[in-house]
Every structure is written in structure tokens, then in C-alpha cells.
Amino acid sequence: MLIRPRMNRLVLRTVLFALPKVMNLTASRAPAFAARLKQRDLVAWIGLQDGSIGRIVEIRGGRFRSHAGSPAEAEVAMSFKDAKTALKLLMPNRDQLEIIHAAKNFKVVTTGPDDLVVWFTQTLNMSETSGLSMGTPMPDGSLRYTTCTNGGPLFVYVKDGRILRVTPIEFDDSDPSTWVIEARGRKFSPPRRALVAPHALTMKSLVYSDKRILYPMKRVDFDPDGERNPQNRGISGYVRIDWDEALDIVAKEINRQKRVHGPGSITFPMSSHHQWGNVGYYLSSLTRFANLIGFTRVAANPDSWEGWYWGAMHHFGNSMRVGVPAGYGGVEDCLKEAEMIVFWSCDPESTNGAYAGFEGTTRRLWAKELGIEFVHIDPHCNPTAQLLGGRWFPVRPQTDAALAQAIMYVWVTEGLYDEEYVATRTTGFDEWKAYLLGETDGVPKTPEWQEAETGIPARDVRALARKWGGRKVYLAVGMTGTGFGGAGRGATGAQWARCMVMMMAMQGWGKPGINFGGLQIGVPHDLHFYFPGYADGGISGDLAWTGNAVNNYQRMPHILTMNPVKQMVPRQQLPDAIINGHATGYLWDGMAQEAQFAPFSYPMAGYSPIHMIYRYGGSSLSTVTRSGRWVDAYRHESVEFVVNQSIWMEGEAQFADIILPACTSLERWDIGEWANSGGYAHHGVNVVNHRVITLQHKCIEPLGESKSDYDIFTAILTRLGLGAVFTEGCSELDWVKRVFDSSDLPGEISWKKFCRKGYYVVPPEKPELRQPVDMRWFAEGRRKDLPEPAPMPSQYAEEFGMGLQTPSGKLEFVPEILKRNTADNPDRPPVNCYIPSWEGLSNTELKERYPLQMIATHSRYSFHTSMDGKNSAVNQVEDHRALVGGHRFWLLRLNPADAAARDIRQRDLVKIFNGRGAVICAADISPLVTPGVVKSYEASAEFQLVDVAGETVEVGGCLNILTPDRSQTRGTSSMAPNSCLVQIEKWRNAEAFKLDRAA
Amino acid sequence: MSKWNLIINVGRCENCHNCVIANRDEHVGNDFPGYAVPAAAVGDNPIRILRRTQGSAPMVETTYLPVMCNHCDDAPCIRRAGDAIRKRDDGIVIIDPVKSRGRKDIVRSCPYGAIVWNEEQQVPQTWFFDAHLLDQGWQQPRCQQVCPTNVFEAVKLDDAAMEKKAEKEGLKVLKPNLATKPRIWYRGLERWETCFIGGSVSAEFAGVVDCVQGAEVTLSWGSKRLARATTNNFGDFAFDGLRGDGSTYRVEVSHANGSVWRDCVLSESIYLGELRLARPGADARGGPDA
């Protein structure tokens, strides 16, 4: 700022003169950069827009040189408004905000063919990263890199360009100390290593899977200029093509769609997850790419939050967390105070708090050592119940709300609830009490009443209610113990989640030892240390559909992108929208409790219906309900073009016209913090024992011709002239550095050291600064003291920081919001009365044909479809897929009584079917599943329809072809996969199948 | 001379399979000359986890038992294989990847079923304690490194010290009757080997059936009284550590509100279900278990 204009001009001339020399010096020191310069020759001009200063900078034969000249002589021209701007952008240690400011306001303009502009600017940036030394050399000659996965952070040992092994990160003496919790005279501290999930350890097997797609492919009977044969998608095979042909076809088709149909004809159905990392994540690169093209949004339903979003939220607010409690401080409070933990539809040993591996397991074993008692309410004596022990309540699926109401009935009639808390912190209790006692409907919700529904003896319910009522009990629900999934994903999901909140309201939620959680969340971290989560926007530039605006947009200046298409289609109804031409949905939006009530419709006036699908990966067939619809949708004549960008040949990839081979996260650069999802899971790191931020090294070169997603998007957009806008001149590693710079890391570890070591552990919070316990402030009638930016300032009932987000500011037994909005909707009554499932045992007509209830929860060994199938190491785990007749079958768990009645023996192949389809699984018979219930997992990566002896069955394990596509309740876009009646039988064609395989 | 032993904590295993997967990660695609040729990407696991479920709802106990090469001091495989298998000074048994080529017969020699056949390479293979890593200075095998619940505990002790430790801590080996002298020890193996008898006591009060807490329960075998227990909040009781040898046991429940008894033949663990108290004076309902 102090440099005078004339001085600036002099410095700029010097910089331009010196630039080639600096570049050549870099090339002489960094072989990677020298190789880059040899990729192509290029003539560029760098100077001022008025032409008063400028110089040709040329790359020829792998060397930089420069000479006087004009922009007209150059292929690429980079021109600055004035010398001051030029210096800000050309000098080392540039301020990213200045670069973005100059670009957004056209103070710097780069012109020329887009591919050359991208190559040139990425090359200039590469001069700063190419000399970095990456990874830690090991005694055996290997290099130890780091990465992060959906199941935890890993060391990746690489030798001779091949991955040797992956191991969980173990901390050393240079890492900060670990927190200690003192409880009941004992001190507890977790192990100094990452307790990763089984699927994390499969990474190497997935990189080298024989299902990898190693080159671009075109469906053999797809001719973009002639017959497209959509009816053969999923049937006909593929032919290898080169990248140029593939990219040309995709780019031409994008332009054709825009020209012929107009905005909205292209859709990018996004999955809920991706390989870990803030740059390559779907909410980052893919969102930026899609925004630059424009697309019909496939609006996701709150699949992990169903019952909480549509139900529980209205009793207590927390819309920012999609209706689940926060869990702050839960570990210490539970260990110090709680007498019992009730796990209700909660199996953290399988669901791992989503990304936390077994980090919570240690903490639960401490609870066991302390003598805290356990109760497990689940149709399945799940792995958590198996490990911890404690009383099992084998409740019939979807009847949980009846059980909960009967417990509350006992509390009311025997005075086992916190009357003072109810009187001062809640509203509507009298109306709820009247319902429980049967004063409003003539049916007292007694333990005897619930027995016929739930299958739980009335005496056991009374015993549980008495053991629980008036005591310090933690209620662990769903994946984090503070909500999510579980029983929330059935027709009665909202009823269950609502009951959970009401039970806590009766017991004094927030008082010492009385809270939500199962030691899965609420670790004493330093949560003030800022590092963005994957949902916080990444490089997307999207302010509307990511958490970008909260921190990332200011912290990592980058160019805004937005999708100009307003048309949306609900995710669960996408196939119907394509086949029937219309669909209606309701938004998943954490801004406010009211956001969910307004419907949106497809198609929307002014926009084109969908004619092109750009799909990343292939998980829909086994994660979306009644997924057989997807097959018909993909083959529908209105869908003119399907491109699938995928790492492996699996799931929907086989329905594409063009397949683009992506590489795994171990073959590209990224950066990410373990379990830090950000967005709706604010402070999601609260599930792991150490905050571990990893550089996700590019450990090996991409296999075959596969490329990183970012490079594929860049290549396509370059053909549309958008490459420079997309990349901002950056490679993935440059973006990684920008994320690093945006966080609180630079004050703690240098970029160079981070590149070598690969991870940073955030020191734990000082004991005196640990977060308060969730809801303690509320229980004690104080101002809110939690580190979360919610509710929004406008959403407090009376005074900022006082009370909950509800209209009354209190816990509402009969929510005012529902009274206002759903009083005329019999599916969503303000008084949470028990409504039996529409596909449960009360549905007598269906029950006669399909007498068994199927529940398919998150898989224990794979993470949704990732890490399953494709010759992942977990395929060889007999409790994941059983080898029968040379094929790895998905497992179906059933009770000995149900098996005996059907003459089914252990590991027999069974056909599981209803009116929606038939799937073949291998039987796993044990008393761990209650009679009348069959238990399996959703999210098989394999979708394999086969014809055996004239019968069409699915043998990959895609159980979601059997689940209903109906929303849980009218007026919501919610899924109910655990409301699924089926019949099973010993598969009569098993021998024919085995013979086929053997042949 | 200190030698390697592995202690396995039986009740701690939750079947996560991290050990199994880490072992695959270590060996699939990797050649460690002198130790092992690459494992097959598709094939049996040298580490396996066995499951045992006992009882019935709501009283079910599940136990997982990791099993692998026992590194026996008197190894039947060595007797069979000659110089294709060697015993190292540190106790580790290693199948020579070159000399054992084609020797499918070695697979059958192991009474523990711990040797897998690598069809691709035509060699028998085992979990060999990650000897190649220990030789590089690793302090523990990979199974221990990846286990979230500390099931595994590799210890290097001389044989006398290990014997002493085993005796003091109640460590046992699999199939001791074979006298193969395994170096894999199990802590809490009773949970795998013994049975329980459990039940839930209830009583009717004024037309309402409730669980009975604090009922006295005794277990006897013939005239011999074996154990006593008191029911918990749910009326539940369990006697564990019993041998499932087909003997007949008697369970007797007494409480101020009545009593009840059952006989049962024990070959696998039994949950007797609901035991309803009968009023004193009335005939206690009883009889053999179904």
C-alpha cells in the first residue's frame, strides 16, 4: 500500500523479467515441475490492460523464456487493470481474497483457449507446490502417507508406486496429550490411536479391485448421432473409447440439451456420501461442476433424520440439526452421573456414529466397568447389545411408539416423572396425559394394551418404567445416540422420535445424568478450533445448498457459483417423475421448523422435464426404496442420455451410455478432518476421541486411464469454455492448500510440515473450558450457553438466547407448529397418538401373504454401498457375505422358529419376496432376531438380476427393491424402508443356480 | 529365551473383523520373501471368528472367538511337513513359501483347521504372527494394532514365565487334550465352553402380573445345591459356568409371594422363560423343561 504507483510499475517490469528465471530454477529443483513444462509449448502474454507494460512469457521445450511482445502474438493473455493489482497477484504469498476480488471485478482477465488458460495458470501455481516433500520415509524404504476415510484416518504405506498396506493412524510423542475424564473416582483416557471401522481397512483392496473402471466406455448400441437404444440400458455391453471421444460426447450432449430443451433437462442425482475429503466431495467439486452447467436438483429427503425432522423437531426445535439433539458434554456427564443407558433402536457398534469407527466403544466399555446398567430395545439383539450385555427388549418393528407410550403411562400413574420440570419447562402435558390415560380416546395406554402390538410382556414394560422413571438415565437413540435413523425410518418413525423427546421431557432433560446419548457423542474437544467439514461448501462456491455461507465463504475466498434452475424433483420420486412425468415433494431444510410444510412440484413452469442424467457412482438401486423403479426410469425413452462417472463397475454404472472412470481418494489430493461433516451435523467431530485433520496424500498415480473427479470435471468444462472459472487456475493440491489456509491450521503447523507428516491433532480443550452439557442451561432456566449458532436470532420466542426454538420457547408435548399446520392431516396429529404402521402386522390383508417384517439397517462392515461388493476385503467376511455355490450372498438373519417352519437351515439360500420383487440371500439363523422378523442390511453395492430356471431374482442383495416407496405420512417426503412385509422360503432354484455357476 | 505368545480376551471380541481384514490387507498383493507369497484376493481367512449364541429372547448371550494358527510347540503340521515348516527360536511357526509349494496335505494336518490353501499360489498359508513385521521392529502384530477392544495381547516371555502367567490369570488353550502346546492363550474361555440356565420370575398381584425382584433362586444337581441367585428388577436370574453334559438340574424359586420350580436337561444353555410364582400352600407348578 505504501509503494507509489511509479515504483509499482518498476517492480512489475522486474517481476515479469524475473518470472521465467524463477520458473526455470524451480524446474531444475523439482522434477515434477520440469516434466510439467515438457507437456506442451505455450506462448503467453502478461501485462496491463492498457498495454503500457507487458511481456511475452513462453514455454518451449520444457523451459520458460520471455521477451518483449504484444498480446496479439500470444495464445493466452493475462492482463491486469493496473500495476498494483498485478503485483498483488504475481508476488509470492499472495492474498487469496485479493485474487478473487480482482477476478470477480474484472481487474484481471485471462483470455485464450480455455484449455490453454487452465494449463498455464495451473502450471504457474504448480511452481509453488511441486518442490514440496510429501510423506514420511520409513526404514523399509516405503513412504508413509496419510488419508482419511468414512471410517477413520489411515497411514498408507507405499513402495515402488504400489500401496503396501494401510494402518490406523497411531499418535506419537510429538502429538498433543489426550483428554482425561474423571468419574466416580476413576480416570479415563482413550487409546492414542484411531479406532477405525472395518471398511476403512479395505481401502487397498478397493483401489486394486478388479471391478475398477480403467478407461472410458461407451455402450455398444448407443450412437449419440443415431439410434440411442435407451431400452437396452443395463442389458447391452460396452466398448472402450478414448478420453477425447468420451469427453466430446458428454460436452456436445450438454450443449445439445441446453439448446434443444433448455434449463432443467439435465439432472445430477447426488448420493448422500462420497469418498472423504473437502475438495473432491460431492458437495464440493461435483456441486461446483453442476452449478456451472445448471440442473434440476434432486432434492434429498432427510434420510438419516426422518422421524426427527418430520416429528421430534416440532416438540423442541433444533431445526438446524434437522431435529436431533446436539449431545454436547454427553460423555463426561454420562460417566459421572448416569445409572443406566437405554439403547433404543441404537446400535453404535454397527453404525459407528456414521464416521467414527469404534471410537465410542472404549467409552461404553468404561461405562460397563463403572457398573452403569444397559437396556437394549430393538427387534435384533444387535452387536451393541451383544458386546455390552444388559436386558434386551425384542420389540416388533415399528411398534416402538406403543411401548414408549405404555412406559409413559406407568410414569404418569405411578408418579415416576419430574413434575416440577414438566410444570415449568413444558407445555401441553395435561393434554398428553389425558391421551395416555385414555380420557380422550377411551383407550388407556397400559402395558397390557401395548403387549399385543409390541410383543413385549406387560410385566417387563412395568419393570422397565419403574427402573427408569425418576432415575438418572441416558437415552441412546439412533446412530449417534442423540438421534438419526433406526426406528425413525418406518411408517411410524415420527411417532417414535416424538415419543423419545417427550420421555426425556418427562424425566427432566438436561439435568445431571439425564440426557440423550450412549457415549457416542459429546467428547471434550476444543470445538473453537476451526476446520471446515465436508458439508461446509468446500470449493463449490454454492451458498444456498451447502454450509458455505457460515464460515467457508469468508475464510476461503472463492468465486460464487449458483444453479440457476429452480426446478426440483424429490429424490425418492425421481423414477416416478421420469416415468409418469410428475412428482410432488416436501423440502428438507434446516432453516426453520416451518420449511417442511410447503410442497414443490415437478415439472415446474418454465423448465424442461429431465432428459439427461449425469450420475456420480451407483448407489440408488440399494439405497432408495422400491428401487426396481430405477431400472424402468433408466430405460425410459424420455431419458436421452445417461453418463455415469464411477470408480467401480457396480450398481447403476451399468445403466449408462457413457462411463467415465474416476479414481479413488488415494490417487488424488484432498484434505479432511475425521468425522467432520459440518453443515447439519455441526461439531460432528464430537464423536471421535481426537480431532485428526489429515492431508489426504495422492499416494499413487491413478490406475489405468482413470482420473480424479476434479480433473474429469475440468476436462468437460474446458470444452464448454468454463475450465478457468471452474478451476480458478488451481489444481486439486492448490485447493487443498487453500482449505489449509482457510482453517486455523496455519497458526499451529506449517504447510511444509503438514505435507510431510500428513496430519495434525487438535489439542483437547482445557478442563475448565469444556463445553457445557446439552440442555443443562434449559433445565436450569439459564441463557443458552452452547457453542452452536442456532436457533437463529429471529427464532427465539421472546428474548435472544432464552428458551427453545418452539413457539412457546418450551418443550411442547402437543406442538403448536403441528396444531397450526397439520391439524387436518390424520397422519400427523398434534397429539402424538399411536397409529399402527400401514405396512405392519395390523395390515391383515398384506400380512396374510407376507407375514414377516423385514428390517434392513446400515451395514456393519461396509459404508452404504462403498466398501461392499467389488472384491472388497469385506466380501470375504462370512458375516457380511456368505460364500454359497461360488457366489457371495448377502445375509438374512432370522429366528430358529421361523427357519424351522420353512425347513430352512443355516446358510441355505432363501428367497425373500413380496409384490415388489424377489431377492436371494443366505440364511443366518440365530435367536438374535425376534420371531416374525427378518433382519438384514441395506446398501448392497451389487445389483444382479438373474434368470434361473425361468425365475427372475436379484442375487446381489439389493433388498431395497422390496421396500415400499410410500412416504411415512402424507404431506412429507420421507422414506419408510423398515415398513416392509415379506415372505421367505427356501429357494427352490438354489441347486440350479449352483449348477449354472459351476458350469 | 523369550518367545512370542498371544493372549486373546474372549468376552471383548465384538466380531468387527478388523483383525481379519487387516491380515488380508497385509498379505493380498504383497510378497514377503522368506515369510509368505501373496495371499489370494478371494479365499479363506487365516484368522477366523467363530460365533456362539446361547439362550433365547430376551436372555441371549453371544460370544465371539478369534481362532488362528496356534504356533504349537509340538505342532502336528511340522510333524507332517518336515522341513517345509519350521519353528523359529522365538516360538513362531512359519510355513516355508517355497518348500511348501503343492503341499495341500499340510492343510489337513492341523487339528485346529488353521491352515488355508492358497489356490493361486498352490501353497498352504497361516497367520504367522506378522513375523516379518516383528523382525522389522514392530512391537505388536497387526491384529492387535487394529482391534478396537483390546482383544489381542502379544507378549514375549520365556516359557516358564508364560506358564506361570497362564496359571495365575486362568489362561487356557484350545483342545489341550491334543497336547500340541499352543502359544495362543485364551482369557475367559469359560464363556465359550460352559452353559447357563436362566429364567424370569413373575407373580400375579390383584389380577396384574409383574416381574418379581429379590426372589431367591437355587440351582441343584441331584441332592447337591450348586448355587444361589437373586432375581433383578426384571425378575431375571441366571446361573452360568455350567457344563452342558446332559445332566438334569433343578431350579427352585422362593419368595414371600410364592414359589416355583423347574427341572431341565442341560446340553446347551437354556432360558426357561417366565416362571410364575404360585401362592404358598398351593401346589408349586413345576415339571421338566420342554
Of A320, A365, A315, A375, which is closest to residue A342 (Cα–Cα)?
Answer: A375
Instruction: Note the pLDDT of residue A788.
Output: 92
Residues A526, A765 contacting (CB under 8 angstroms) = yes
DSSP three-state, residue B10 = helix
- Residue B233's CATH number: 2.60.40.10
Mean pLDDT of A606-635: 95
β-sheet bridge partners, residue A181: A188
B282, part of any domain:
no
Residues A803, A791 contacting (CB under 8 angstroms) = no
Asked if the bond preceding A603 is cis, omega within 30° of 0, the reply is: yes
Q: Are the beta carbons of A349 and B25 separated by less than 8 Å?
A: no
Joined together, the cell numbers standing for residue A33 give 515441475
Computed over every residue of chain B, the mean pLDDT equals 95
DSSP 8-state code for residue A766: P
Q: Are the beta carbons of A877 and B146 separated by less than 8 Å?
A: no
The count of structural domains within chain B is 2
Joined together, the cell numbers standing for residue A289 give 461442476
> Which amino acid, one-letter code, is at B245?
D
B281, part of any domain:
no
B105, part of any domain:
yes
B10 in the same domain as B116: yes
What Cα–Cα distance (Å) separates residue B175 from each residue in A806, B72, B101, B172, B182?
64, 11, 29, 9, 9
Backbone angles phi, psi at B208, to 5 degrees: -115, 130
B122, part of any domain:
yes
Mean pLDDT of B258-287: 85
Alpha-helical regions (H) of chain B: 18-27, 76-81, 105-109, 131-134, 142-146, 159-169, 190-193
> Which amino acid, one-letter code, is at B31?
D
Phi-psi group of B215: left, alpha or beta (phi > 0 → left; psi -120 to 50 → alpha; rest → beta): beta
Tell me which residues of chain B, numbers 62 to 121, contact chain A at a CB-CB cutoff of 8 Å: 62
Q: Select from B60, B209, B210 the Cβ nearest to the Cβ of A392.
A: B60
Of B57, B56, B51, which is closest to residue B14 (Cα–Cα)?
Answer: B51
Check if B169 contacts A (Cβ < 8 Å): no
Joined together, the cell numbers standing for residue A165 give 498396506
Residue after which a domain boundary falls, among B145, B176, B191:
B191
A-B contacts (CB, under 8 Å): 135
pLDDT digits (tens, 9 = 90+) for A317-347: 999 999 999 999 999 999 999 999 999 999 9
B284, part of any domain:
no
C-alpha to C-alpha distance for A909 and A889, rounded to whole angstroms = 8
What Cα–Cα distance (Å) separates residue A45 from each residue in A361, A537, A817?
60, 34, 62
DSSP three-state, residue A528 = coil
B132 in the same domain as B266: no
Contacts of A452 (CB under 8 A, 6+ apart): none
Instruction: Note the pLDDT of residue B289.
Output: 43
Contacts of A606 (CB under 8 A, 6+ apart): none
Contacts of A575 (CB under 8 A, 6+ apart): A629, A630, A632, A633
Instruction: Note the pLDDT of residue A997.
Output: 87
C-alpha to C-alpha distance for A364 and A350, rounded to whole angstroms = 14
Mean pLDDT of A942-964: 95
B215 in the same domain as B173: no
- Residue B9's CATH number: 3.30.70.20
Q: Taking the CB of residue A197, how many other CB atoms lie within 10 A of it?
A: 31
To the nearest whole Å, the CA of A985 is away from the closest chain B CA by: 23
> Closest residue of B to A376, CA-based?
B58
Q: Taking the CB of residue A282, how many other CB atoms lie within 10 A of it?
A: 22
Residue whose entry in the numeric block shows the C-alpha cell 509449448: A41
Q: Select from B43, B62, B213 the Cβ nearest to the Cβ of A928.
A: B62
Tell me which residues of chain B, numbers 178 to 217, contact chain A at a CB-CB cutoff of 8 Å: 202, 209-211, 213
Q: Are the beta carbons of B57 and A361 separated by less than 8 Å?
A: no
Torsion angle defined by CA atoms of residues A666, A668, A673 and A676, in that order, rounded to the nearest 10 degrees: -100
Joined together, the cell numbers standing for residue A729 give 487456475
Q: What is the largest CA-CA distance in chain B?
A: 79
Best of A164, A201, A203 to disrupt the B interface (most B CBs within 10 Å) is A201
Q: Taking the CB of residue A291, how many other CB atoms lie within 10 A of it?
A: 22
Check if B18 contacts A (Cβ < 8 Å): yes
Joined together, the cell numbers standing for residue A199 give 471398511
A273 is known as an active-site residue: yes
Question: Catalytic pick from A157, A221, A281, A303?
Answer: A303
DSSP 8-state code for residue A717: H
Joined together, the cell numbers standing for residue A557 give 475466498
With both helix axes pointing from N to C terminus, report the angle between A400-414 and A493-507 in degrees, rounded to the nearest 10: 20
- Is the pLDDT at A689 greater than 80? The verdict is yes
B199 in the same domain as B187: no
Q: Which helix (H) or strand (E) holds A154?
A: strand A152-159
Q: Are the beta carbons of B21 and A459 separated by less than 8 Å?
A: no
C-alpha to C-alpha distance for A442 and A86, rounded to whole angstroms = 80
B126 in the same domain as B32: yes
- Is the pLDDT at A2 greater than 90? The verdict is no
C-alpha to C-alpha distance for A310 and A855, rounded to whole angstroms = 21
Residues A153, A760 contacting (CB under 8 angstroms) = no
C-alpha to C-alpha distance for A147 and A168, rounded to whole angstroms = 10
Best of A172, A384, A876 to disrupt the B interface (most B CBs within 10 Å) is A876
- Is the pLDDT at B27 greater than 70? The verdict is yes
A314 is known as an active-site residue: no
- Give contacts of B14 with chain A, Cβ < 8 Å: 349, 361, 383, 386-387
Check if A162 contacts B (Cβ < 8 Å): yes
Residues A774, A330 contacting (CB under 8 angstroms) = yes
Question: Catalytic pick from A157, A435, A534, A861?
Answer: A534
Torsion angle defined by CA atoms of residues A913, A915, A918 and A922, in that order, rounded to the nearest 10 degrees: -10
- Give contacts of B211 with chain A, Cβ < 8 Å: 459-460, 462-463
Residues A680, A663 contacting (CB under 8 angstroms) = no
B144 in the same domain as B30: yes
Q: Are the beta carbons of B28 and A204 separated by less than 8 Å?
A: yes
Residues A122, A724 contacting (CB under 8 angstroms) = no
pLDDT band at A887 (very low <50, low <70, confident <90, very high): very high
Give, in degrees to the nearest 5, the angle at Cα A457 between A456 and A458.
Answer: 110
Residue after which a domain boundary falls, among B191, B211, B232:
B191
B111 in the same domain as B46: yes
B147 in the same domain as B246: no
Residue whose entry in the numeric block shows the C-alpha cell 496429550: A177
C-alpha to C-alpha distance for B252 and B238, rounded to whole angstroms = 12
Q: Taking the CB of residue A992, how many other CB atoms lie within 10 A of it?
A: 14
C-alpha to C-alpha distance for A388 and A361, rounded to whole angstroms = 10
B214 in the same domain as B87: no
- Tally of CA atoms within 13 A in the half-sphere of A481 that contains its CB: 34
Residues A313, A323 contacting (CB under 8 angstroms) = yes
- Give contacts of A387 with chain B, Cβ < 8 Å: 14, 149
Backbone angles phi, psi at A583, to 5 degrees: -165, 155
B212, part of any domain:
yes
Strand residue runs (E) in A521-611: 568-570, 583-586, 599-602
Mean pLDDT of A716-729: 97
Q: Are the beta carbons of B145 and A204 separated by less than 8 Å?
A: no
> Which amino acid, one-letter code, is at A497?
A
What is the helix, strand, coil percentage profile of chain B, to 5? 20, 40, 40
C-alpha to C-alpha distance for B155 and A349, rounded to whole angstroms = 28
- Is the pLDDT at A3 greater than 80? The verdict is no
Instruction: Note the pLDDT of residue A999.
Output: 78
Tell me which residues of chain A, numbers 803 to 862, contact chain B at a CB-CB cutoff of 8 Å: 860-861
Are β-strands A152-159 and A143-149 bridged in parallel, bridged antiparallel, or unpaired?
Answer: antiparallel
Q: Which domains does chain A have, with CATH numbers?
A: 5-126 (3.30.1050.10), 330-521+801-821 (3.40.228.10), 844-998 (2.40.40.20)
Joined together, the cell numbers standing for residue A148 give 482419511
pLDDT over 70 percentage in chain A: 100
- Is the pLDDT at B95 greater than 90? The verdict is yes
- Burial label for B246, CB within 10 Å (0-12, 13-18, 19+), is exposed
A303 is known as an active-site residue: yes
Residue after which a domain boundary falls, among B136, B162, B191:
B191
Joined together, the cell numbers standing for residue A606 give 418454465
First-to-last alpha carbon distance for chain B, in angstroms, is 56
| DSSP string covering A973-984 | ----TT--EEEE
B83, part of any domain:
yes
B130 in the same domain as B199: no
Q: Are the beta carbons of A193 and B30 separated by less than 8 Å?
A: no
β-sheet bridge partners, residue A170: A193
DSSP 8-state code for residue A779: H
Check if A366 contacts B (Cβ < 8 Å): no
ipTM of the complex: 0.97
pTM: 0.97
Integer-rounded Cα radius of gyration of chain A:
29
Mean pLDDT of A109-119: 97
Residues A667, A683 contacting (CB under 8 angstroms) = no
Mean pLDDT of A433-442: 98
| DSSP string covering A371-432 | T-EEEEESSB--HHHHHH--EEE-PPTT-HHHHHHHHHHHHHHHT-S-HHHHHHHEE-HHHH
pLDDT band at A92 (very low <50, low <70, confident <90, very high): confident
B153 in the same domain as B27: yes
B267 in the same domain as B184: no
Range of the structural domain that residue B51 is part of: 3-191
- Give contacts of B21 with chain A, Cβ < 8 Å: 198, 201-202, 873-874, 877
B79, part of any domain:
yes
Instruction: Note the pLDDT of residue B282.
Output: 58
> Which amino acid, one-letter code, is at A767?
P
With both helix axes pointing from N to C terminus, report the angle between A400-414 and A458-468 in degrees, rounded to the nearest 10: 60
Chain CA centroid to CA B141, Å:
20
What Cα–Cα distance (Å) separates residue A512 from each residue in A334, A335, A811?
8, 11, 18
Best of A159, A381, A407, A875 to disrupt the B interface (most B CBs within 10 Å) is A381
Best of B21, B31, B50 to disrupt the A interface (most A CBs within 10 Å) is B21
Instruction: Note the pLDDT of residue B288.
Output: 47
pLDDT digits (tens, 9 = 90+) for A161-203: 999 999 999 999 999 999 999 999 999 999 999 999 999 999 9
